[in-house]
Chain A
Amino acid sequence: MNLARAPHAPAAQPLPVQAGLAAAVRQLRGVKILFPFVVLIAIWWTIQATGNFADRVLVSPERVFDTMVLLISHGVLAEYISTSLTMIGIATVVSILFGVPIGFAVGANRYAARSLEGFLRFLQGVSGIAWLPLIIIWFGFTHTTTLAVVIYTLIVPIIFNTMVGARAIPEHYALALRSLGAGRLRLITDVYLPGALPSIVVGLRLGMGYGWRALIAAEMLVRQGGLGDLIFGARTSGQIDRIIGGMIVIGTLYVLIDRLLVQPIENLTVARWGVLRK
């Protein structure tokens, strides 16, 4: 590096070009993510334009777009969205509050862990939707029913992964801390919680994916608002534009929740502590 060179000499200014390149690369990456969507819309648009479909069977992308603008401008979409987000939010908080302690309790006991592992896998097989008939009989067509199904779906992967995470913590972490005078509470806050956190986050991420799907399905049957209600209600009146628009919103919201909420937590813990790299 030549310190004697004047700061505004031409050779010292490759920066705008570099910055421009970096921006172009970023843009390219953005395009790559959007590319499959563009292809899908193009196919949809071609099929719709070349075939002779009734509005009850398939509508054009523009038509869906116009309907969505209408739903948004009238605040209708916001209401459906807020119902769904409230549900997934409550279910997530409840599942963490109960699932994490249960996972630890099971993980702390070797025999309990072994005997419950099969049971938890069995529960994962009996999807939340399969519980719906029974829960509707018990709680009726209410938000309680929807919540019960979503919590059930969300909590099982959280319990399971908390248990796995707790069991993967090396035994001597806790032993060393006990000989430093740590009591039970200390061990939980300083060893077990941070040690299992990466695994808990994995469980949360899985659970929210399953839970979001279960939520939409439950809303379709319970019909008390939410995005599932929006698209299933549109079916009875043959509003294809609402159905497709609703589906797009459902997918988009899930991506946003995952990218903006769950992934940052994962980066904060797993990457920083080097747990993955070891």
Chain B
Amino acid sequence: MAATASADKIVVSGFRHFFDTEDGPVQATGMIDLTISAGEFVTLVGPSGCGKTTLLKAMAGFFRPTEGTIHCDGRLVTAPGRERGVVFQELAILPWRTVRKNIGHGLEIAGAPKAEREEKVARLIDLIGLGGFEDRYPHELSGGMRQRVAVARTWAADPDVILMDEPFAAVDAMTRLTLQEELGRLSLATRKTVFFITHSVDEAVFLGDRVLVMTRRPGTIKAEIDVPRRAAGGRDWESFTTDAEMQGIAERVLKLVRAERGLTPAEEARAAAGTSA
């Protein structure tokens, strides 16, 4: 259990998944092998529909892969578990629970004593800057605040591994920058192992210790790029955008991702504007 910094936390080997549909099986991913060390922040970037989410959901234990195995701390993953927390892209906090009760939900399920629960929740609410909103319901919060609650809920349950599926995709651009900085600091301070999926090259490079690039569907991992170790205080966007080394890495990753789309820059711009079919 007591893993050292270099210990393998998650090992994916020979992973391949097919979905059953009415028209027969559809291949969701190609062959994937992946090892994530304890305390590492791994980001995965790839085109839409390449199988990123499928891989993450299999790591969470929501289904068994068609082929291959996933181990967490040497144990075969067969079902969801408290040691693997998940933050979804869609809003997954419960609308009928207040901020306080949402964040404390994992602790409540684990049967933690009320005093301990309240103390932990209060600390996290303070950390994510939601003081004064403890007894509000999600519909009374902004999108950024809700996603903070979702992240805090996962953190409060104190899992070893946190799986994040484009958690900031639905948040406005300004808030996203702040949330990314906060997440970087939080993961360093708590030494969690994080697996983070995104569309955004900048986000992947900014957050990751290591960036994985996936091919088009059925996706395989086509490249791995190491990013210089983060400083204790985490990164911030001001220095990231002026750091030549980081920008160079981002450019390399962008080229790798671009090559997967099979689109010219002009076509891509049209697709982004939503005019192309």
Chain A contact residues, CB within 8 Å of chain B = 170, 172-173, 175-182, 186, 190-191, 194-195, 197, 269, 272-275, 277-278
Contact = CB atoms under 8 A, between A and B. Distances in A.
A194 B105 contact: no
A273 B88 contact: no
Contacts of A170: 90, 92
A274 B95 CA distance: 7
B139 A176 contact: no
A181 B106 contact: yes
Nearest to B94: A173
21 contacts: A172-B92, A173-B94, A175-B57, A175-B80, A178-B62, A179-B61, A179-B86, A179-B163, A180-B105, A180-B106, A180-B109, A180-B154, A181-B80, A181-B81, A181-B106, A181-B110, A186-B109, A190-B105, A272-B96, A273-B139, A275-B96
B139 A278 contact: yes
- Say whether chain A's binding surface is mostly helix, strand, loop, or mixed: helix
Contacts, number: 76
Contacts of A272: 96, 137
A194 B94 contact: yes
A112 to B, nearest CB: 18
Given A172-B92, A175-B86, A175-B92, A181 B157 contact: yes
Contacts of B86: 175-176, 179
A275 B138 CA distance: 10
B140 interface: yes
Contacts of B57: 175
Contacts of B95: 273-275
Contact of A175 (B60, B139, B150, B159): B60
Interface string B134-153: 00011110000000001001
A178 B80 contact: yes
Contacts of B79: 178
